[in-house]
Amino acid sequence: MDGANNMKPDGRKIVIIGGGFGGLSAARNLKDTDARVTLIDRKNYHLFQPLLYQVATGSLSAGDIASPLRAVLNKQKNTEVLLGEVIDIDPDRRKVILKDGEIDYDDLIIAAGSSHHYFGNDDWESFAPGLKTVEDAAEMRKRVLFAFEAAEREKDPERIKALLTFIVVGGGPTGVELAGALAEIARETMKNDFRNINPGDARIILVEGLDRILSSYPENLSRKAQDSLEKLGVIVETGCIVTKMDFRKVTVKKGEREEDILCETILWAAGVTTSPLSKVVAEKFHVERDRSGRIPVNANLHLENKENIFVIGDMALTLGRNGNPLPGLAPVARQQGAYVARLLKNRMKGKTTGPFRYRDFGNMATIGRSQAVADLHKIKLSGWIGWVIWLFVHLMYIVGYENRLLVLIQWAWNYVTKGRSNRLILGRDIAEKIKKGIPEAEEHSDKPKHQKIF
Amino acid sequence: MDGANNMKPDGRKIVIIGGGFGGLSAARNLKDTDARVTLIDRKNYHLFQPLLYQVATGSLSAGDIASPLRAVLNKQKNTEVLLGEVIDIDPDRRKVILKDGEIDYDDLIIAAGSSHHYFGNDDWESFAPGLKTVEDAAEMRKRVLFAFEAAEREKDPERIKALLTFIVVGGGPTGVELAGALAEIARETMKNDFRNINPGDARIILVEGLDRILSSYPENLSRKAQDSLEKLGVIVETGCIVTKMDFRKVTVKKGEREEDILCETILWAAGVTTSPLSKVVAEKFHVERDRSGRIPVNANLHLENKENIFVIGDMALTLGRNGNPLPGLAPVARQQGAYVARLLKNRMKGKTTGPFRYRDFGNMATIGRSQAVADLHKIKLSGWIGWVIWLFVHLMYIVGYENRLLVLIQWAWNYVTKGRSNRLILGRDIAEKIKKGIPEAEEHSDKPKHQKIF
C-alpha cells in the first residue's frame, strides 16, 4: 500500500505549487510518465472558481464545486498530493521551502494564483470581502442574508434602506454575475420570505470605473449585459469609482460629483493581484513583476534565465497574439498547465517544444437566471442562447462527474422554482449579531481577518 | 408585500422557540388558522440532524440536509420567522425576551432542543467535539481529515499511530454511525489517496460505558450491530468508560484496568443535555428538571400549572406507555409539535384534546455502506434490508424535495463508487497547522470555543 514505492526512484522530481486550474492540469498531464510529481496546495481540494459566486449567493454548496485533490489524483501512482504552505524557494539547493518542511525539485511549476487587491486600501478588505475562496463565498453569503434579516427586525426606515442597499464594486464578469444573482435573490427567491420588509425594495448598485461593464468584451455585448442587468433592477454606474468606505457608507465619485451612499453590504469584485509567492519568485530569480504582480515568462512559460522554473496561470505574465497580456482566466491556466506537462515530457525524450499558444475560444458571463453574454469571436451571443452555452461549458469543466450531476440538478431546480436552497448562514452565535447588523467594526478588527465570521 | 398585513390582527399570538423537528412541525400544523405564529431560531435553517454524521464524514454537504426556515414557511401567511436568540421569558407580561428585543405571546411552545454534555468535564469539549450543529460537523470533518494529512507528513511511527487512532465516545446511534462511516472512509474511500501511510491502518475504537452498544435496542440487534462494526474493522469496547483526555491521549477504564491510548482525534457521541433555556423555564415556572435537564410536562404537553406554556421535543420530559421517559428522537418531537398545534386549534374552537400518545414506529441505525439495524417492534431487521428501510425512511423525512433528490443521488453515487466527494477541509490558514497536528492546545484554549477552527 505504500504508494511511494510505486514511484520510479530515478524519475525527475517535478513539484507543482498550487492545485487550481493550472497546477491540476499540469499534474494530470504528467500522468504515466517516469517523473515523480508532487502537487502542493494550502487546501485539500480543487475549487471551480468560476461558479463560486453561486455559492456566495446560495445556489450551490461549496461541496458541489470543489473536489478533494487526493480523490482527483489518487489513480496517478506517480503523483503525490501534499497539503502545505510554500513560503520560499531555494534555487541553489533546488528545494521548495514549506512552513514546516522542504521538498526537493528538479523542475518546478509555480501556479499559486491570485487574490483580491484593494488598490492600496488594505483596510477595505474588512468592509468589502472579495471572492476567491470558499471561505470568501461563505462570508459574502452571510453578509447578504444577514442584511435582509437585520432589515426585517429594524424599525428605522433610514437604516432599513441602508441595509437593503448592496454595492458590488467592479464590473467584470464576477461583479456582473454577483449583481445579477443578488437582484434575483431579492426580487424572486425571497419574494415571500419576509413580513416587515419587501426584499424587492433592495437596491443593487454595480459600480465600474471604466465607461462600460465587461470592458474586455466587444462593446455591443457590454451594452446587452447592462440592459439585462437593468431589466433585473440592478443600477449600473459606469465611470464611477469608490473613494471611501466604512461599515455604514460608501463614497463614490462620478466625474466631479462625489456622493455618499448609505450601505451596509459591499462586495468586492474589482482588483486582483498575484499570490504573495510571486514576490518571492521575483526576488530569488531577479525578475521584475508587472503592476499586477505577474511574473514575466518566455514563450516556453519558464523564467528567461531558468529553464526548470515555470510560472503559469494568474501568476504568469504571458503575451497573447495581439501583444496584450493573457487574462487571468481558467482556460489560460488550464492550457498552460497542459503545455508545460507536454514540454517536460518532450524534454524527457530529448525533444524540444514550440512556443505556447493560447487557443482562445471566447468569453462568457451570466446575468441572472436565463441571460448571458458570450463572445465566441466569430459569434457573439446574448440572452437565452448565450446562457445555455454558458451552462453547458461550465458543466463540462467541473471536475468530477458527481459534481456535474449535482450542479445540473440544482440549476434545473433553481430555474424551475426560482429557489435557492443553500442560503444557510453558517457560523456560531449568529443570531445575537443580527440587530446591530453584522458588519460591526469590532467584529473585523482582529487579525487574521474574517476569522470570526465564517 | 408587507406580509404582516396578512395576519389577522386579533388572532392569538403563538410563539414557537426553536425550528427543529418539534418547532417546525408545530408551525406547519398551525397553517391556515387565525393564530399569528412567530417561529424564533438562532439559525436561519432547519437541520435534519439524523444525517449530520454524514456531513461530518464527508458524504453530504450541509446544504443538502438543511432548509432555510423562511423558505419552508414562506407560503404560510400567518407565520413569521425571526432569527434571534431567546434569553428569558417574562410570564407576567407574556413576553419572550430576546438578546435584542421582546416578542408578545399568548401561547408559547418551547422546543429549543439539546446539546452535548460532558458529564461535568466541560474542558473535554475542546478535545472531543460533539455533533449537534453544522459547525460541529465541519469541526469533526476537519479533525478527521487533518489527522490523515498530518500522518502522511509525519516521520515518527509512534506519532503516526496516534494520528491514525480515532476514538468515538458513546455507543448510541450517533456513535455507531460515526464509527461505521470512519471505518469506511479509512478502508475504502481513501484507500489510494496517500503515498506514505496506509489509511487502512487506522484504528477506530468505539467506547461504550454500558455492556452493549445501542442499549435502547433489543439485545440481538445490538449484537448484530457490533458484528457489522467489527466486520468493518471497528474495535468495539463495551463496559468501558473514558476517565481522562487531552490532545494527545485518552485514558479508558474497563473493569479495574486503566489504559492510556495515544490518540489525537476524539469524537463525542455520549452525553446530551437540554438547551440552556430549560434552566430559565425551570426557574420562571418553578418546576424541577430531571437529571438530563428536561422539563416535566403533563399529558397535554404543557406545564402543570400553565396551560399556555408547552414544552416539546428533547427539552420535554414526557412518559411513554411503559412509564419510561420518551427518548430524544426526531419522531417524538415531530409528533409532539403536531399534537400541540392540534390542541391549540381545538382550543380556538372551544374543544378539548385528549392526552398526547407517542406512536412509536421503531428505531434504526446504519452501520456503514449497506448495513443497518431496525427495531420495528414486531419486526427486527438487520443487514441490507434494514439499510434499505433506513434509507427510505430518512429520505422521506428530509425537508424539501430538492434536498431529497440531492441526498439520494449522493448516496447512490457513494454506494457505487465508495467515494465521498464532500471531504473538504474548510477554514482559513489550514495548511500551516498540519505538521504540528490540528488539535494543538493553543488552538483551543480561546473562548468561545471552536471559533478559530471552522
Is the per-residue pLDDT at B273 higher than 80? yes
Tell me what pLDDT residue A446 has.
32
Tell me what pLDDT residue B5 has.
41
What whole-number distance in Å separates Cα of residue A124 and Cα of residue A129? Answer: 8
Q: CB distance from B115 to chain A under 8 Å?
A: no
- Answer whether A195 sits within 8 Å of B3, measured CB to CB: yes
Q: What is the per-residue pLDDT across B215-233, written as a single tens digit (0 to 9) for each?
A: 988 898 999 999 999 999 9
User: Is A442 part of the annotated catalytic residue set?
Assistant: no
Tell me what pLDDT residue B322 has.
85
Query: If 0-12 CB within 10 Å is exposed, 13-18 middle and 19+ buried, where does residue B324 land?
Result: exposed
Q: Is B323 or A204 the better-scoring residue by pLDDT? A: A204
Give A444's contacts in chain B (Cβ within 8 Å). none
Low-confidence ranges of chain A (pLDDT < 50): 1-6, 432, 434-454
Is the per-residue pLDDT at B42 higher than 50? yes
Tell me what pLDDT residue A203 has.
97
Tell me what pLDDT residue B431 has.
52
Q: CB distance from A156 to chain B under 8 Å?
A: no
- Answer whether A436 sits within 8 Å of B44, measured CB to CB: no
Q: CB distance from A354 to chain B under 8 Å?
A: no
| Contact predicate B84/B101, CB 8 Å | yes
DSSP notation for B371-429: -EEEEETTEEEEHHHHHHHHHHHHHHHSSSHHHHHHHHHHHHHHHHH---TT----SSS
- Answer whether A431 sits within 8 Å of B99, measured CB to CB: yes
- Given the candidates 3.40.50.170, 3.50.50.60, 3.30.420.10, 3.30.710.10, the CATH classification of the domain at B3-42+84-113+275-348 is 3.50.50.60
The complex scores an ipTM of: 0.82
Q: Which helix (H) or strand (E) holds B139?
A: helix B134-153
Q: CB distance from A107 to chain B under 8 Å?
A: no
In total, the C-beta contacts within 8 angstroms joining chain A to chain B are 220
Cα nearest neighbour of A150 on chain B: B83
Tell me what pLDDT residue A70 has.
94
Name the residue facing B198 among A2, A75, A409 (closest C-beta): A2
Given pLDDT bands bounded at 50, 70 and 90, which one contains residue B384?
confident
Tell me what pLDDT residue B421 has.
66
What whole-number distance in Å separates Cα of residue A108 and Cα of residue A115? Answer: 21
Over residues B256-279, mean pLDDT: 93
Q: Give the closest-approach CA distance of B44 to chain A in angstroms.
A: 6
- Residue numbers of B between 186 and 225 with CB closer than 8 Å to A: 190, 192-196, 198, 200
Mean pLDDT of chain B: 87
Q: What is the pTM of this model?
A: 0.86
For chain A, what are the domain ranges?
3-42+84-113+275-348, 117-271+363-444
Is the per-residue pLDDT at B128 higher than 90? yes
Cα nearest neighbour of A429 on chain B: B42
DSSP notation for B52-80: HHHHHTTSS-GGGGEEEHHHHHTT-TTEE
Q: Give the closest-approach CA distance of A54 to chain B in angstroms.
A: 13
Q: What is the per-residue pLDDT across B291-313, written as a single tens digit (0 to 9) for each?
A: 999 999 999 999 998 999 999 99
Give B198's contacts in chain A (Cβ within 8 Å). 1-2
Determine how β-strand B295-296 pairs with β-strand B316-317: parallel
- Residue numbers of B between 257 and 276 with CB closer than 8 Å to A: none
Q: Is A119 or B344 the better-scoring residue by pLDDT? A: B344
For residue B27 the three cell numbers come to 408551525
Among A64, A75, A424, the residue to mutate for chain B (most B Cβ within 10 A): A424
Half-sphere exposure of A91 (CA within 13 A, CB side): 15
| Contact predicate A444/A125, CB 8 Å | no
Is the per-residue pLDDT at B450 higher than 70? no
Is the per-residue pLDDT at B437 higher than 90? no
Is the per-residue pLDDT at B416 higher than 90? no
Tell me what pLDDT residue A9 has.
61
Instruction: Supply angle C-alpha B102, B287, B306, rounded to 5.
Output: 60
Is the per-residue pLDDT at B400 higher than 80? no
- Answer whether A153 sits within 8 Å of B422, measured CB to CB: no
Task: Look at the block and give the residue holding cell 482556460.
Answer: A331
Q: CB distance from A446 to chain B under 8 Å?
A: no
For residue A286 the three cell numbers come to 531577479
Q: CB distance from A135 to chain B under 8 Å?
A: yes
- Answer whether A100 sits within 8 Å of B432, measured CB to CB: yes
Instruction: Supply angle C-alpha B29, B30, B35, rounded to 5.
Output: 175
Q: CB distance from B335 to chain A under 8 Å?
A: no
Catalytic residue among B154, B177, B188, B264: B177
Instruction: Tell me which residue of B139, B163, B136 sits closest to B152, measured CA to CA.
Output: B163
DSSP H helical segments within A67-217, as ranges? 69-73, 124-127, 134-153, 157-163, 173-184
Architecture per CATH, A117-271+363-444: 3-Layer(bba) Sandwich (3.50)
Task: Look at the block and give the residue holding cell 489524483.
Answer: A73
Q: CB distance from B427 to chain A under 8 Å?
A: yes
Is the per-residue pLDDT at B375 higher than 90? no
Tell me what pLDDT residue B401 has.
67
Q: What is the per-residue pLDDT across B62-100, written as a single tens digit (0 to 9) for each?
A: 888 888 999 899 999 999 999 999 999 999 999 999 998
What whole-number distance in Å separates Cα of residue A30 and Cα of residue A251? Answer: 50
Is the per-residue pLDDT at B370 higher than 60? yes
What whole-number distance in Å separates Cα of residue A10 and Cα of residue A4? Answer: 12
Given pLDDT bands bounded at 50, 70 and 90, which one contains residue B388?
confident
- Per the rule left: phi > 0, alpha: psi between -120 and 50, beta: everything else, B210 is beta
For residue B236 the three cell numbers come to 468495539
Q: CB distance from A440 to chain B under 8 Å?
A: no
Same fold, A3-42+84-113+275-348 and A117-271+363-444: yes
Cα nearest neighbour of A419 on chain B: B71
Quick count: other Cβ atoms within 10 Å of Cβ B8?
A: 12
- Per the rule left: phi > 0, alpha: psi between -120 and 50, beta: everything else, B49 is alpha
- Answer whether B43 sits within 8 Å of A430, measured CB to CB: yes
Tell me what pLDDT residue B225 has.
93
Give the SS3 label for residue B51: helix
Q: Is B414 or B348 the better-scoring residue by pLDDT? A: B348
Cα nearest neighbour of B422 on chain A: A63
CATH hierarchy code of domain B120-270+363-444: 3.50.50.100
Is the per-residue pLDDT at B181 higher than 50? yes
Name the residue facing B71 among A71, A193, A431 (closest C-beta): A193
- Answer whether B403 sits within 8 Å of A422, measured CB to CB: no
Tell me what pLDDT residue A61 has.
87
Cα nearest neighbour of A71 on chain B: B193
Is the per-residue pLDDT at B430 higher than 70? no
Among B36, B423, B426, the residue to mutate for chain A (most A Cβ within 10 A): B426
DSSP B102: E
| Contact predicate A109/A14, CB 8 Å | yes
Is the per-residue pLDDT at B113 higher than 90? yes
Q: CB distance from A139 to chain B under 8 Å?
A: no
Q: Give the closest-approach CA distance of B135 to chain A in angstroms.
A: 6
Amino acid letter at A428? R
What whole-number distance in Å separates Cα of residue A202 and Cα of residue B31? Answer: 29
Is the per-residue pLDDT at B172 higher than 70? yes
Q: Is B157 or B391 the better-scoring residue by pLDDT? A: B157
Tell me what pLDDT residue B289 has.
96
Query: If 0-12 CB within 10 Å is exposed, 13-18 middle and 19+ buried, where does residue B73 land?
Result: buried
Catalytic residue among A80, A149, A177, A188: A177
